[in-house]
Chain A
């Protein structure tokens, strides 16, 4: 019997032992017996040096092949037992995956904040910048400079909240609109001006459709050439972007505001079929904002030369457009801080509106 026969016999013998092994321990014992420090294969390989020179290479190759074969079989067998052991362990491990977890983000952004952010996102694309002003105002900024003299009938319609008269006979008020910021801006800078002014406004009116505090967004554009065509373009673009309706009908009707001349009211198309209000092309119109070309007298009060400059202004109710866009039925609920309402109509904190990201 040649050595090669011996090796083959050993290989098949060991292979059979591995196949018959019943545990990782037995596999280990076989490994030690074959490949351990004094294992058979190891001993054989150590004996290579005793062989005649010309036989060494062939014998070395045979031994290596033998060892690789055994190692491979051992590894496969070990893996089999490990997999079985893991399966046995996993079979005992359980989590009730139906248990409820904390997955909700409970915080919300108020619809007024979100709506203002949307309005800013749209007008921002048209080159407007946000400006703000104080809520406690002077008669001059709230009325006189906006071409509403003391006994003007329009003043009565404003239902103004007043503070007590000071010793100097000065009487401050809560601004009835965001328009005073037009004057403050004009007095602070020369044209070109392009601002939007979101903020709180106040009127002494309280019923189903009026709140003593509400929000407006004011817009003002002053330069040398902007005319009513751009006023129309700007507001049509806004309405369509805000409501997300490409061909939303937008109508401009003549109206009157002391601070603009010509003045217009803007309606958007809607349908009231079946008692349900739907924004879009339809049989009806819905008034949503007021606007006009800035009255030359207002420019004068703002320290701007009306012979050189002109422009437009507009104003709208934030709650109103929010109610229309988001189907909020009652104005008064905006300020109730009812958690059910805030969770229902509020927005997720990471829902940051932008024109490119969507509104």
Chain B
């Protein structure tokens, strides 16, 4: 909402500086986004009289002027052909900044003659493109006066952000009312003198029904014999300073009232109307060519104003071209109505029309101001275009809007935290237009017709606080109900944080990527169901909810590779989406390693990433989450986006905790990722619930007896899972065996084809007595038997 200081002052005797007013508005919820103080740049320039203009003694094209700058004469050298006595001109004193160039004007000698300033062109002042001659001001201005104020260029333009609840402040008067209530000046009375109609209206107005929700009140008035044409300068200036284009007096009047009093109206050229005006829903296939030159297809949910020819205006949104006013208009029909906010908003949105009228109607307008609006419009039409007014025709009635709120001034303290004298509270509410009755602890407050946003007691508390100032509410600490703080996060979130910091401490870098990705990528990672595709994405490729975080991380790795960072190690802790229910959102810890394990170093050449690096990351994450690696079962049946032979899943009993391994080369190719790439995915929600209480550890009983280690090597089938052997070895004597360590995997010379050698160290820890040789031998024998049976292998001899 744009206005100017001068415009505001037509509604209020302002008793504050511009700065104070701007900060007062801001504190009251009317934030001033921008102030275009046009006067500031023009401040140094003053009105001056050229006393004499003679030829420069040393230059043919220059003039030597004596200039009266108000009680003082100076000498100025000027090159303008139009400089002459006794014209009024704009004088720039030495030291002023020329707006167009930003240069500081210096005293100088031009061709040997001193010049004590400059006479300015419109170009130099940034006011026009005319640099042929200097500005010639109209006679009658005071010599020595400021140029900006003398010519009305000192009116700063304010751009104010109006929140959705304050329809009343979409008119200048609404702003003035808030300022007056805040003690910044006195609100000027608004005179509404009804203009008597001189003849019965030949055009009637009709509503669709007696209780039309789309428009409860519809008024019209014919003014005959008007002369339309450009509006007067003051009105054109008002509109242009807030960025509107003057069109003609009749149209400018409606725009002026829209911004001045928040009362949109429409003017029809009565000569182009065919019969009465009726409000109705648009008919199927009905079309309207609107004033913006575009044709719109309408439907029954849209309210139109129609005459016998059909729809001629979209109620509350935009007028039609066929009945618009032009310079040849002689009879004008002024329309003012109360269109339903919801339908107006829906209509405008469906047709993509954003008009000043729609903007106001959809926020809800003052139901009592329809008739005053048409009276004021009539008055302006008569003033600017003359003519003869007809009687006002009416359909419908002002809808019931009055309501009473029980208001306890004590709530300003108990809800608002401000202890304010009830009398001052009363003054504030009354100055905003509320009618108050009753006394004591509970008052009856009727909000004014223009404040449909005030619905309950909390709204009244807000009005009191807002006008008095939020800065006056004393800040008090928010005390917690216990002496010491309690944990802010539950056990599961604590675990997630621990996983995050564990992965980062493994040299993985945390990324955060979008929850959506291209459907084609989702297809590679489990599917792209329609139900998880946005219907209004911001861009193609940002429309499918991700079924996995991997594609985002892989794409990020490739972007880094393209910037000569081929080795990316990234992880993200975040959501992936199975379906559109709350339960279908899985919290994941997902990571990738791409390229090599690190850059080549003198002490570590690095190596290409492999599936087991991803397994290490996955198990580290699980360990951080309290799941011991020994309890996790690893199966070689990965999801389809992994390499079928170099990846696995992680199970805990029947639960799938996640997967890891090399990313399928076909998937990498489809994503355009160079690779090699490995990754892991952990379902954080699938992890066993952390124990809620009882942090005590089981008692440690260190054995006093010597442990024993024995090595064994077995020749086993080449495709045997190492885990099968390790599990068998661990199971031989669960009390005695504390560790089984695989220390060698060998294939090649000395081992027949189709076989491999697996070598393990088994650590035995007796608890009751030192092991005897016989016991150790017995154990070894049992271990060999068990492992050979479980693996189909043989002890390597």
Which residues on A are within 8 Å of B, measured CB to CB? 99-102, 105-110, 112-113, 117, 120-121, 123-130, 133-136, 150-154, 156-157, 161-164, 166, 172, 174, 192, 194, 196, 200, 202, 204-206, 212-213, 221, 225-234, 236-237, 251-256, 258, 261-265, 293, 295-296, 310, 334-340, 342-343, 346, 348-350, 352
Contact = CB atoms under 8 A, between A and B. Distances in A.
Contact of B461 (A113, A256, A262, A335): A262
Contact of A126 (B416, B478, B503): B478
Contact of A125 (B26, B456, B485): B485
Contact of B515 (A123, A200, A225, A251): A200
A315 B513 CA distance: 22
Interface residues of B, number: 100
Given A106-B569, A236-B475, A262-B458, A162 B535 contact: yes
A163 B544 CA distance: 10
Contacts of A296: 456, 458
Contacts of B511: 110, 337, 342
A346 to B, nearest CB: 7
B458 A153 contact: no
B754 interface: no
Nearest to B458: A261
A213 to B, nearest CB: 5
Interface string B482-495: 10011111100100
B82 interface: no
Given A127-B481, A129-B488, A130-B493, A227 B533 contact: no
B548 to A, nearest CB: 15
A127 B485 contact: yes
Given A124-B489, A263-B29, 16 more contacts: A106-B507, A125-B480, A125-B485, A127-B481, A128-B488, A153-B362, A212-B538, A226-B478, A227-B413, A228-B417, A229-B474, A232-B476, A234-B477, A234-B478, A251-B471, A255-B163
Contact of B346 (A151, A202, A231): A151
B534 interface: yes
A108 to B, nearest CB: 5
A161 B536 CA distance: 6
B341 interface: yes
Interface string B564-601: 01001110011101001110110000000000000001
The 5 closest A-B pairs by CB, nearest first: A229-B417, A127-B480, A124-B488, A337-B556, A262-B462
B582 A133 contact: yes
Contacts of A194: 480
A127 B465 CA distance: 28
Interface in B407-441: 413-418
Contacts of A126: 478, 480, 485
B560 interface: yes
B602 interface: yes
A342 B509 contact: yes
B206 to A, nearest CB: 26
The prevalent SS among residues of A at the interface is mixed
* Residue picked from B26, B488, B513, B534, most chain A C-beta under 10 Å: B488
Interface in B124-182: 163-166
Contacts of B534: 161-163, 174
Given A228-B473, A233-B478, A254-B470, A337 B488 contact: no
A295 B602 contact: no
Interface in B490-524: 490, 493, 497, 500-516
Interface in B312-362: 341-342, 345-346, 349, 362
B28 A233 contact: no
A106 B413 CA distance: 54
Contacts, number: 267
A96 to B, nearest CB: 10
28 contacts: A102-B603, A107-B505, A107-B508, A107-B510, A109-B501, A120-B488, A124-B489, A126-B478, A153-B345, A166-B531, A200-B575, A204-B538, A212-B514, A213-B515, A227-B413, A227-B415, A228-B415, A228-B416, A229-B476, A230-B417, A230-B477, A254-B29, A264-B470, A335-B513, A337-B511, A339-B560, A340-B563, A348-B504
Interface of B: 26-29, 31, 163-166, 341-342, 345-346, 349, 362-363, 413-418, 456, 458-459, 461-462, 465-466, 470-471, 473-478, 480-482, 485-490, 493, 497, 500-516, 530-539, 542, 545, 552-553, 556, 559-560, 563, 565, 568-570, 573-575, 577, 580-582, 584-585, 601-604
Contacts of B362: 151, 153
Contact of A107 (B471, B480, B507): B507
Contacts of B504: 107-109, 348-349
A125 B27 CA distance: 30
A176 to B, nearest CB: 13
Contact of A99 (B459, B461, B602): B602
B509 A106 contact: yes
B538 A117 contact: no
A252 B515 contact: no
Contact of A237 (B164, B478, B553): B478
B415 A310 contact: yes
Nearest to B28: A254
A140 to B, nearest CB: 13
A148 B357 CA distance: 22
Contact of B538 (A101, A136, A205): A205
B601 A339 contact: no
B465 A164 contact: no
Contacts of B505: 105, 107, 349-350
B536 A293 contact: no
Nearest to A263: B462
A161 B515 CA distance: 12
B565 A339 contact: yes
Given A227-B417, A251-B471, A310-B415, A295 B539 contact: no
Contact of A151 (B345, B459, B471, B603): B345
Nearest to A107: B504
A256 B487 contact: no
A163 B488 contact: no
Contact of A346 (B163, B501, B509, B536): B509
A145 to B, nearest CB: 15
A200 B363 CA distance: 30
A127 B486 contact: yes
Contacts of A261: 456, 458-459, 461-462
B512 A252 contact: no
Contacts of B488: 120-121, 123-124, 128-130, 196
